[in-house]
Structure 1
Amino acid sequence: MGCLEMFAHLTAPNSEKIRESMESLLQFLQMTAQISGAHTVDFYTKDVWKNHVAVSPESVLEIFSQQQKPCYEFRGVPDLSNIFSPTTNQLVNLESFVEAVQYNSLMHPGLCTPVEEILETFASQRADKHVKEIKTDQFMNDKKSHEVGIMSQFVVALANVYGIKQVIDLGAGKGYLSSYLSMRYDLKVYGIDSSHTNTDGANERNRKLKKYWKVYKTDARTTSKAKKSDQKTEGLLPKNSCQDVNADQDISRQREGDIRCPRLSNLEPCRDDDLSLLSDSSKRTSNKESNKATFDNSSDSPFSFLDILPSGAVEMPSMSQCVSRVLSEQEKEQRKIENIKAKKLTESHVYSPLTSYVTADTELHDIITDLEESMMVGLHTCGDLAPNTLRIFTSKPEIRAVCSVGCCYHFLSEQFDEAGKEQKTESWGFPMSQYLKERRWYIGRNARMSACLALERVAVGQGLPTDSLFYRAVLQVICKEVYGITQRSYSLVPQSKNILKIDQRVGKIFSKSSSFTDYVRKSLKKFGQDDSKISDHEIVGYYQKYETRRNELEAFNRLKVFLAPCIEALILLDRLCYLREQENLAWSGLVKMFDPVKSPRCYAVVSLKQP
């Protein structure tokens, strides 16, 4: 089956379906903007519940608790006319509200392509189709392991369609996806991140990774000397501990079948979110522990870290050759050449972290000197970097495919303001499509913040810090009634003393406070206010007064959580619509890549050029 024929078999909505879905979303989101755009901080000062909701808090909490796992039932186009009161504009029909939310989410049939469908379609192109699953959770936390394990299979399947060996990872962060793609699949990966901290850390992991490989080579040499040449290689076990070695020392050529890699379970345990297994030295193991090690590579054994390395990444000396034999000059020269080749091969398997701030106008040749036909990926690229990834893909002929999973929608820049007036900046994160540009559509920061909420996680009891949200809302009442602070400003310079600057945030004070009183005093000091103007007794009084209305705040936040998938759907459909407006693209779609409970930002925007 040819590439174009395979693309044709993939599920994806046509352009008309995308526009219909966006039109329905625009109508619903405009109607519910009063909820998604409300800020929790102002909940009590602006009496948000009374002004926007006419149902009881208990009914909202009850219907949410019934959805331990969100159930999507589609009964046709929902009637939006009875959701809000035509006179008061308050929410009056909760059941219709939930039905409309489900209808306008990306779970609506036909909008998304399951990742399994693409992997199955390109199964013949996958280099690892007969390879066992890798236990990535041995050196990543559960969330990262889940994401990297699935996305790496997806990336490799697409890369093989085009015969691509170079991958560009934008917003690479700590380099988990980049390093895994490089080690596991023998790809040449450039991880680009704007943070020096991230790339410096990635470079340090690279250094430790090389040292990690060489430690095992040294250990194998020691073992070889300790064993007689007529011993069976399958029975050889290392008896000496792994010592620090010079990272520039020569490495010997491995002879196929001479040795198998030791299990990771015998190494120093790793920490979550850190490749700490790549330590500068391995821990000394006793003979008793060594005797428990096994090199068995049978089908029942889990793969270890060293199992994921490509051929040539770990060069081990022959265990059967006689190490005491004197080498001839010709053999020495040959050994030297092999060492140089092996060293270059090893280094080629470790990805290259680069520091650069990437925009839509970035010239990749200035960052990557050996740029060739590549695939561009992004795993939870922040804010505008996700849409810029798509713009680079469409403008650079070298980039043949893209797989972008965005996040941090609250950091997206918007082209238009609430009045539809165009902002004075050169590029924007939203909207991307001409379809929404013509409507001068505006989401708003509070609604984009709402889009970051995770419905599936909250439904199973995770994700909403209700205590800290309640503390902050009551604190705002104190700020208004005692200190005359009536609003917050997102401009750098406040217009009056009654407006808090954007940088005057509470931050992580809640986690550092022993009580609500302590929280209020620390916050007031951070705001630059005189906390002696209010007594402890008065602070406790505010807490007790609003504690009886706490369920209103919790219920309202549940309504915002319900709307989160709809706002996210509009952002992602806008990106898909932008791709459909381009020429020479063979296929574009939204792919549900991850389990939303494990990884809430689970949708990837994928596009492929004509092969």
Structure 2
Amino acid sequence: MDSKVTKIRHNLDSIIKYLTPLLPLANCHMVEFLTHNHWEKLLPRPLTESLDSMELNDAVENFWMSLDVKNCTSELDKWIVNARSHCILANNDYCLTREQLSDRIKAWGGEIKPEIKVSEFMNSKKSYEVQTMSGLVASLHEVCGSSCCVEVGGGRGHLLTSLSLSHGAPSLTVDCDETYVRAAADRARKISKQWHAIAKKIHNGTEERVARHTGDLHRFAAAFVTSETDLAGVVRQSFPEYKDDGVTVLLTGLHTCGNLGPDSLRIFTHQPTTAAVFNVPCCYHLLTEQIDEGLFDVFQRNYGGQNGMTGFPMSEHLKGLNLGRNARMLAAQSIDRVLHHRQLPNKSLIYRALLQVIIKQHLPDAVLSEGKLKRIAKCETFQQYFKMADSILKLNIMDNLPEKYLQELHKEMDGQWKKLVLFYLLRLCLAQVIESVILLDRLLYLCENGFDKVFLVKLFDPVLSPRCHSLVAVR
């Protein structure tokens, strides 16, 4: 136990030492790329100088190639290798692969349940996630002897619908939206009726028809879950047959949003009726932090926790550390997916940066609602973008600007596009570093509270499901 805590703390300390000088880069806003001169101010000069002399296509191709290098032969290689060396990796100690989690469950006396493939009622991403996760949750449910599996923030309840129909596990999906819960329950009933036709059991690599477990095993409840929620009480309300029995819960969540992930871990820690937790987090930008007013947060001020309870950090070891909202938003981006699809940023990114130049020069005191510009459809030119933004934001300046001024801006766009693309990719290298801090902080919190059977698990293919890590803990 002490050895695990020491290793996690050492890992965190190493990452934070590397990340802290780069927090201004992680917390910058691409909107201000031109007005704040991000290229010159936020990146190491040797790196920018080495890229300045290259054509865009050559520089981007070098970036794709550098992601696979092990030895550093250029400033770009050094940047990428250094970032990747500060990301969590499966180490068979506290970060496991899916197969290693199966081995742990077997060592705890459990039997690994087959995966269940569902061909309808959910998109391919969700189907893949449910298939990958449902068998492991069912296995953990059995090994920890829980009365009921409870999924918080469960939305449509796909995970536990599969769990109850395939493995006969009593299951409760909890979501805060009562209307959504009623619709999800209707959807689950439709899935149940067609289960024999749409579900297949994966056994030794082959698909077999799976029988449907009968009975009212999967139910829904509307509740806003916090760290104070009595989950066993919610289960008793939904399953009156448990009223006089001792209820134990396996608490799960497939992409729990914002603070719901940390609150799930706090429930596990403080409520002995929670036998295990199997949580996949999401939406790090919606976590609460005690953010310093001056910590680079451009559009979100006073974005702090309530009653001293924050989503980050959770561990005592990181108490007082701030990441920043933009850094946490960056942590939810996927460099694996960008690499796989060779994705470059949309031109709208430079259009928005140019618009910011105009606003700062001509309307310096304007207060803008950033979200409104998300309505702008794909534009072929900056003039199209500017015209739509001028109308949406009611700036009333486009017709008053001389044509020569706009032409000069267009020239600047041509010169800055390469830098913006490369800046976007270089900054993206920090995404998994920041996510590693958030995940290791949660793991360390569980260890600090005396739990030994706690692990990070790389559960999903990060290209198919970028938030691919889960936290698994057994009491």
1:582 aligns with 2:449: yes
2: CA distance, partners of 1:476 / 1:458: 26
**Is the CA contact 1:72–1:102 (under 8 Å) kept in the aligned structure 2?**
no
Q: How does 1:44-123 map to 2 (within 5 A)?
A: 44-53=34-43, 54=45, 55=48, 56=51, 58=54, 61-67=60-66, 70-71=67-68, 73=70, 93-107=75-89, 109=91, 112-123=95-106
**Could you say if the C-alpha distance between residues 138 and 588 of structure 1 is closer, same or farther in structure 2, counting changes exceeding 3 Å?**
same
Aligned-residue RMSD, C-alpha? 3.2
Aligned counterpart for 2:352 among listed residues 467, 472, 478:
472
Q: Distance in 2 between matches of 1:549 and 1:13?
A: 49
* 1:198 aligned onto 2:188: no
Question: How far did residue 352 of structure 1 move?
Answer: 1.7
Change (3 A) 1:184 1:462: farther
Given the alignment, which residue of 161, 169, 174 partners 1:187?
169
What does 1:347-496 align with in structure 2 at a 5 Å threshold?
Answer: 348-349=216-217, 351-368=218-235, 369=237, 370=239, 372-417=247-292, 423=304, 425-426=306-307, 427-437=309-319, 440-461=320-341, 465-484=345-364
Alpha-carbon distance change, 196 to 478 in structure 1, aligned in 2, over 3 angstroms? farther
Q: Which runs of 5+ in 1 are unaligned?
A: 1-7, 79-91, 214-260, 266-297, 314-344, 485-496
Partner AA of 1:597 in structure 2: V
Aligned to 1:170, which of 152, 162, 167?
152
CA 1:594 to 1:474, structure 2 compared with 1: closer, same or farther past 3 Å? same
- The answer on whether the counterparts of 1:402 and 1:607 sit within 8 Å (CA) in structure 2 is yes
| Aligned residue in 1 for 2:18 | 28
In structure 2, C-alpha distance between the alignment counterparts of 1:198 and 1:464, rounded to whole Å: 36
Contact 2:386-2:398 at 8 Å conserved across structures: no
Correspondences of 1:519-534 after superposition (within 5 Å): 519-534=385-400
Q: How far apart in 1 are the matches of 2:305 and 2:438?
A: 21
Q: Which moved more, 1:376-385 or 1:423-432?
A: 423-432
Q: Which amino acid aligns with 2:60?
A: L
Counterpart CA distance in 2 for 1:37 and 1:116 is: 36
- Structure 2 partner of 1:552: 419
Task: State the match for 1:219 in structure 2.
Answer: none
Larger helix fraction of residues = 2
Please give the secondary structure, in 1, of the residue aligned with 2:255. Answer: strand
Matched to 1:48, the amino acid is H
Query: One-letter code of the match for 1:116?
Result: E
- Report the number of matched residues: 445
TM-score with structure 1 setting the length: 0.67
Query: How far does residue 185 in structure 1 lie from its aligned partner after superposition?
Result: 1.2
Are residues 515 and 139 of structure 1, via their aligned partners in 2, closer, same or farther at CA, if it must alter by over 3 Å? same
2:415 partner letter: T
Q: For the residues of structure 2 that align with 1:592 and 1:299, how far apart are their CA atoms?
A: 22
Quickly say closer, same or farther: Cα 1:424–1:182, change in 2 above 3 A.
closer
How far apart are the structure 2 equivalents of 1:606 and 1:546? Answer: 48
CA distance in 1, matches of 2:304, 2:350: 34
- 2:457 equivalent among 574, 578, 591: 591
CA contact (8 A) 2:390 2:398 kept: no
Gaps of 5+ in 2: 296-301
- Give 1:150's aligned residue: 132
1:197 Cα deviation after fit: 4.8
3-state SS, counterpart of residue 403 of structure 1: strand
Please report the TM-score for the alignment, with normalisation by the length of structure 2.
0.84
Q: Kindly, what percent of the aligned residue pairs are identical?
A: 31
**1:518 is paired with a residue of what secondary structure?**
helix
Change (3 A) 1:468 1:111: farther
Please say if residues 288 and 305 of structure 2, whose CA atoms lie closer than 8 Å, have aligned partners that are also in contact.
no
- If you compute each CA radius of gyration, which structure gives the higher value, 1 or 2? 1
| Contact 1:517–1:536 (CA under 8 A) maintained in structure 2 | no
Cα shift readout 1:94-124 (whole Å, capped 9, x = no counterpart): 3332222122101274551111012133348
Pairs within 5 Å for 1:325-340:
none
Give the distance between the partners of 2:132 and 2:118, measured in 1 at CA. Answer: 11
Q: CA deviation at 1:23?
A: 0.7
Going from structure 1 to structure 2, the CA distance change for 1:476 and 1:422 (only over 3 Å counts) comes to: closer
Partner of 1:324: none
Structure 2 CA distance for partners of 1:301 and 1:44, relative to 1, 3 Å: closer
Structure 2 CA distance for aligned equivalents of residues 209 and 144 of structure 1: 15
